A and B are shown apart, each in its own frame.
Chain A
Amino acid sequence: DSGVTQTPKHLITATGQRVTLRCSPRSGDLSVYWYQQSLDQGLQFLIQYYNGEERAKGNILERFSAQQFPDLHSELNLSSLELGDSALYFCASSVVAGGSNEQFFGPGTRLTVL
């Protein structure tokens, strides 16, 4: 157990719909990262938040958005869903202090768009 929680575990929805994925980082971790992993693919970095502020953006579509709340949990919003958005979405967190930036991954949310 990494200490990072993600809900829901599975999500099945239809094209054109909007969903929200939720992530709670490890206690004490200020940074949250979102990744997308398609079948047999690597980890595609989407976006990073640090202490409530957006810090880095990767290959995140305009239909996707995220935020980090004052309690440090984060949500990833995916809208106008397409079949190609079906993937495993991971949230990770790290403390980012003293040179240690190892990331702790949550169990992921498997999104299926039908």
Chain B
Amino acid sequence: GQQVMQIPQYQHVQEGEDFTTYCNSSTTLSNIQWYKQRPGGHPVFLIQLVKSGEVKKQKRLTFQFGEAKKNSSLHITATQTTDVGTYFCAGPAGTSYGKLTFGQGTILTVHP
């Protein structure tokens, strides 16, 4: 079945450093989504990428979708303590009705 892998599993950074998490799918994706889960919270949708090679920015966050639509990345510039949490990528599971396959997530810790 479809697999979505994320690396790294954990990332510790000093406040102000950059952070990147990578997502790779075993199959071509029609789109890819990113979610953030704060400690003690629930996953919250961040963004969806649809086009090959697409790049989208949200303030200090930059999301990329690979040309082959099998990989994606999330880059955070100059991390802040408010960035702590787990970042998940997710892709359609190949079936209809909206099921997603989530990556294992990258847990980001930001040290002040």
Contacts and interface: CB of A to CB of B under 8 A. Distances in A.
A42 B44 contact: no
A81 to B, nearest CB: 22
Nearest to B42: A105
Given A94-B98, A103-B98, A42 B103 contact: yes
Contacts of A100: 48
A62 interface: no
Given A40-B107, A102-B45, A31 B33 contact: no
A104 to B, nearest CB: 7
Interface in A62-105: 90, 92, 94, 96, 99-105
Given A42-B103, A43-B88, A43-B102, A96 B97 contact: yes
Q: Is the interface of B mostly helix, strand, loop or mixed?
A: loop
Contacts of A101: 31, 92, 98, 100
26 contacts: A31-B97, A33-B99, A33-B100, A40-B107, A41-B104, A43-B105, A45-B99, A45-B100, A45-B101, A45-B102, A48-B99, A50-B97, A55-B95, A55-B96, A90-B42, A90-B43, A96-B97, A96-B98, A99-B31, A102-B45, A102-B48, A103-B43, A103-B90, A103-B100, A105-B43, A108-B42
Interface of A: 2, 31, 33, 40-43, 45, 48, 50, 55-56, 90, 92, 94, 96, 99-108
